[in-house]
Amino acid sequence: MQLIEGLGVRLRPADEADRERFHEILACPEVATWWGDPDEQADEAVNPHEDVRSFAIERQDEDGTGPTVVGLIQTWEDTTPDYEHAGLDIAVHPDWQRRGIGGAALYVLAHYLFEVEGHHRLTIDPAADNKPAVSLYRKLGFREVGIMREYERRADGVVRDGLLMDLLDGELVEPPSH
């Protein structure tokens, strides 16, 4: 795995040393609402299943120090012949949200998956009521495929709908800089 850089962010393959910071990010209520149990999720992020790749989203600090890990992003691959595609998931620390980081990280990873790895279709599946995420994914060119009813059990134990979105090669839109 390699570093993927662009639009002011750097995606560095995650390792065990990222566990504490990932946990800190995933335990923030604004993130945990959508990602679920921070212990489990941090563990999976630093020890991903073999078809999953996990990256720390790094941002160079303005005073030249850092870089700071401001979020995490993952991609998984379905390699079933004739159905190949890759999925994405992301979390940005609340202190760093709304500064263009989520859009930049998704853009550079999607660009890499299309241009370097030759994928033709990417998917993402936010909770249907995750308005910030759905709004961002639309801006990047993802389209709604449809509602997946009673898709996921959330931290409060209630099963809620998910929204399947997809993006084909040639549809990716560069996010505006913030």
Ligand X SMILES: CC(C)(COP(=O)(O)OP(=O)(O)OC[C@H]1O[C@@H](n2cnc3c(N)ncnc32)[C@H](O)[C@@H]1OP(=O)(O)O)[C@@H](O)C(=O)NCCC(=O)NCCS
Select from 5-13, 37-45, 124-132, 153-161 the region that touches ligand X (CB under 6 A). Answer: 124-132
Least gap, CB of 82 to ligand X (angstroms): 26
Task: Report the residue number whose CB is nearest to ligand X.
Answer: 102
CB 35 within 8 A of CB 91: yes
Q: What's the min distance (Å) between Cβ of 115 and ligand X? A: 21
Smallest distance from ligand X to CB 163, Å: 9
- Residue 38 vs 82, nearer CB to ligand X: 38
Instruction: Please pick, from the candidates 10, 24, 132, 171, the single residue that binds ligand X as defined by CB under 6 A.
Output: 132
Residue 131 touches ligand X, criterion: CB under 6 A: yes
Please name the amino acid found at residue 61: D
* Integer angstrom CA distances of residue 140 from 22, 69, 80, 166: 25, 23, 26, 11
Contact 72, 55 (CB under 8 A): yes
Q: Is 100 in the site for ligand X (CB under 6 A)?
A: yes
Pairing of β 85-92 and β 9-13: unpaired
Q: Which CA distances in Å does 28 have to 22, 88, 170? A: 10, 20, 35
Q: By CB under 6 A, tell whether 30 contacts ligand X.
A: yes
Please count the other Cβ atoms lying within 10 Å of the Cβ belonging to residue 163.
21
Instruction: Please confirm whether the linkage preceding 94 is cis (ω < 30° from 0).
Output: no
Stretch that binds ligand X, among 58-66, 79-87, 99-107, 110-118 (CB under 6 A): 99-107
Residue in 74, 89, 142, 167 binding ligand X, rule: CB under 6 A: 89
Number of residues that bind ligand X (CB under 6 A): 25
Task: Pull the structure tokens for residue 178.
Answer: 């913030």
| Contacting residues toward ligand X, per CB under 6 A | 30-31, 34-35, 89-92, 97-103, 126, 130-133, 135-136, 139, 175, 178
